[in-house]
Each structure stands twice: as C-alpha cells, then as structure tokens.
Amino acid sequence: MKKLKAGSLQLVTFVVVVIALLLASFVLLTYIHKQFSIKTNHTIEAVALVNNGIDELLKNESFEKDTILLNLNDEDYKSLKIYKSFWGAFEKVHSKAKIKNKTLSKIALVGGKVNKASTTLFLQDNNKPLVLVGQTTIKGNAFLPKRGIKSGNISGQSYFGEKYVFGNISLSKDLPKLDRNLIDYLENFKTNNYDSHKIDFIDISSSKIHQNSFENPLQLVYSASDIFLSEISITGNIIIKSQTNITVDSSAKLQDVILTAPKIEIKPNLTGRFQAIATELLNVDKNVSLQYPSALVLLHDYCNEEQSSISAISIEDQSKVSGQILVLGKTQPNNYDAQIKISANAIVEGAIYCEQNLELRGTVYGSVYTDNFIIKEDGSVYQNHLYNAFIDSSKLDSEFIGLNLYKEKKGIAKWLY
C-alpha cells in the first residue's frame, strides 16, 4: 500500500475542516436569518396590534379608565392591553402589545375631530339675540338663539359687515355637553387626593432640567405656597401644583406638563406647550405663544358676591393660544362679568368652551361655544354683543383635534413619549 505523505494528510485535514466550518457557518447563518425573520415578523405584528388597540380606544366609548385585556383569538403568545384616562383637557389613550418577548406601546393625547361641517359658533339660547357691532365677522356654521341675530351700536359704532353670518345658521338650545368623565377628572384638581403609591413627589429646586416619560409613574411638584418657574426646563408626565399661585417666567421651558393652582400668571414673551388649570384667575400676558396642543382651564362657579375678585381667564394683546380654553362652572342671570377675556390683538387657534360669559374682542380660528357674550365699554355692559370679533373655523388645520364633546368622533392630537 502506497503511503501518503504527511503534507497530503495535512492538506486533506485542512480541506475537511474548511468544509466543516463553511457548513457550520451556513447552518448558523440560516438559523440567524430565520430568527431575525421571526423577530421582524413579531415586530411588525406588534406594531399592527398596538395600532389596533389605539383604534379600538378611539372608536369605543364604553371603555372606562381600567386596563382592558382584549381577546386575541386564543393566541396565548400575544397580549394587548389598552387603557383610557385623561391628561388635562385631553383624553389619554395607552395601548401596549406583547408578542412573546417583544413589547411595544403607544400613548397619545386624544380629542374631538374637526371637519368642514364642524360648528364655528354655538351660542346658548337664553332668550336674547346675538348683537354684532363694528368689524365683527363670523365665517362657518352658527347655532344661534331663537331670537336670532341683529346689528347694534357701541360708543357710536354700528355693524359694518355685508351679512351677519357667512355660513349656515341653525337654532341653538343648551350647550353641547363635554364628556362627563372629563369634567369629573378636572374637578379633582380642586383637591389634594393623591395616591402616593402611584406618584413620585419631586423637588424641582434640585436641578434645572426635569424629564419624565408618560410610560413612567406620574411625578408631582407640590407646594403649599407660591411657585415661581424661571430658568428651568420641565418636560413630560409631571404636574406642578401650588395651593396659592404659580408664576411662569419667559425663561422657563415647559413641554406637555400640567400647572394647577388657584391663580396662574404667565409672564410676557414666553413660548411653551403645556396646560394650566386654575380655580380663581389665569392670566396670559402679552406676546405669549402657547403651542398646540395647549389648554387653559378655569374651574369656578360664579357668585355675584365676589365682585371684588373676578375669576377669569384673560389673554392679552399679541398672544396666541393654540389648543383649548375652557371655563366650567355654574353661572347666574345677574352675571355681568367676563369669565374669558380675549384682547383685540390676541389669537385663539382651536376651541373655546365657556359655561359663563365670554368677552371676545380678538380672533378665533376654530370654534366658540358659550353661554353668553358680554362687552364692557365706557362704563356700560352689553350682553350677547360681539365687538370687532373675528371667528372663522375654515382657518383651522384639518388635522386639528378639539373638544372632548360627548359622543364626538375622536382623533389623535399628539403622540406622547
């Protein structure tokens, strides 16, 4: 038998090892590719599943605040939990999907959808006509009292428009109702009932930057005295509460947080995106820009014995609020004060909902719902008067999300983080 040389044996061994390595690499590559494909499919399924959860929350009014586990046709390796709550004047929806070890969640702020048929003006029927004065303009669908609409005169100025309403006119009755659960949620801001097991109390004096994801437990800044926000950045799932007063300086950077106090003052030249909920007074000074989706809320029952300390939301000249302005509370027939004051050069882009008196001298790109208009001029009070006001819903972006009215179709105002 012919003996092979040692070099030949080494060569054969090397070739066998190389072939084995190549085969092993091919098997490993095939396995990795298969696992990657499975994980990719799980990711795609999770995205579709979490989106289905959001869609289910948007269209189904029956879901309350508790977490709902949806039936997924007995596919045990999949789960979908959806949760509905509130964040300020908006609903908050949370959808969380899990497929084996892959988890994905989405959180969004939700409100009522706006379309071409949406209401521009809704004035409750209190057996008084709407009176237009000066350069007042109403463009869009208007719901007005049975006594209708007419021109008037204030300080020698009459109405200069070609027609009263540039759009359809229908009869109004009572104001459309907000979601009852939303009202109950907002009323809770009057109290200090907090579940300490679900809230992290934080001290903002310890740092100039504070951020909290909406996936994390709520963080609360609380003070029994005044809070002054200056040269600080606060973002996300954080509520700032004072028992007396909150003042926001233009140097503060606030994004998506909630401020709540009896009195809230927003200083000139501030730019931000947040919600403010007051029980006595909420003042937005000059040259302020509150970006979408912001909200200003006043929770107060009118009492004519409080003449010395009028409760109101006021928007000063050259300021712009993009989002919602709400005044909630009982009124009285002898209410001759304005609970919302929009100055002549101020702009509201979005929706105003007022269960009391609205003094509108500025511009609204969107919708106005109010119990009554009022104007104070030269020592006189004019009820249900609009003086140099401009209301036009067609100027509002079609993607804008508005009020949480009862049984209104819902849409997403903003994705949270």
Given a cut of 70, is residue 4 above it in pLDDT? no
pLDDT band (50, 70, 90) for residue 37: low
Q: Are 339 and 313 in contact (CB under 8 A)?
A: yes
Residue-level pLDDT at 299: 97
Q: How large is the average pLDDT for residues 144-172?
A: 96
Residue-level pLDDT at 45: 80
Residue-level pLDDT at 114: 85
**CA atoms of 344 and 326, how far apart (whole Å):** 19
Residue-level pLDDT at 226: 98
pLDDT tens, position by position, 325-340: 999 999 998 899 999 9
Residue 27 phi/psi, 5-degree rounding, is -65, -45
Q: How large is the average pLDDT for residues 199-208?
A: 92
Question: Taking the model in full, what pTM does it have?
Answer: 0.89
pLDDT tens, position by position, 53-97: 899 888 876 655 556 665 566 567 788 899 999 999 999 999 999
Q: How large is the average pLDDT for residues 184-207?
A: 84
| pLDDT, the chain, mean | 90
pLDDT band (50, 70, 90) for residue 398: confident
Residue-level pLDDT at 197: 58
Q: How large is the average pLDDT for residues 222-234?
A: 97
Q: Which two tokens stand for residue 305?
A: 């014995």
Residue-level pLDDT at 147: 97
Cβ burial, residue 150 (10 Å; 0-12/13-18/19+): exposed
pLDDT tens, position by position, 42-52: 678 878 888 98
Q: Look at the block and give the residue holding tokens 């009022």.
A: 374
pLDDT band (50, 70, 90) for residue 2: low
Q: How large is the average pLDDT for residues 27-33?
A: 78
Residue-level pLDDT at 57: 86
Given a cut of 90, is residue 22 above it in pLDDT? no
pLDDT band (50, 70, 90) for residue 194: low
Q: Which two tokens stand for residue 174?
A: 């009572």
Residue 298 three-state SS: strand
Residue-level pLDDT at 64: 58
pLDDT tens, position by position, 98-132: 888 888 999 999 999 988 778 999 999 999 999 99
First to last CA, the chain: 78
**CA atoms of 345 and 318, how far apart (whole Å):** 5
Question: 252 in the Ramachandran plot: left (φ > 0), alpha (ψ -120 to 50) or beta?
Answer: beta
Strands 209-212 and 227-229: unpaired
Q: How large is the average pLDDT for residues 277-281?
A: 97
Residue-level pLDDT at 177: 94
pLDDT band (50, 70, 90) for residue 27: confident
pLDDT band (50, 70, 90) for residue 231: very high
pLDDT band (50, 70, 90) for residue 394: very high
Cβ burial, residue 271 (10 Å; 0-12/13-18/19+): middle
| Best CA proximity match to 137, nearest among 324, 360, 349 | 360
**CA atoms of 57 and 412, how far apart (whole Å):** 11
pLDDT tens, position by position, 237-263: 999 999 999 999 999 999 999 999 999
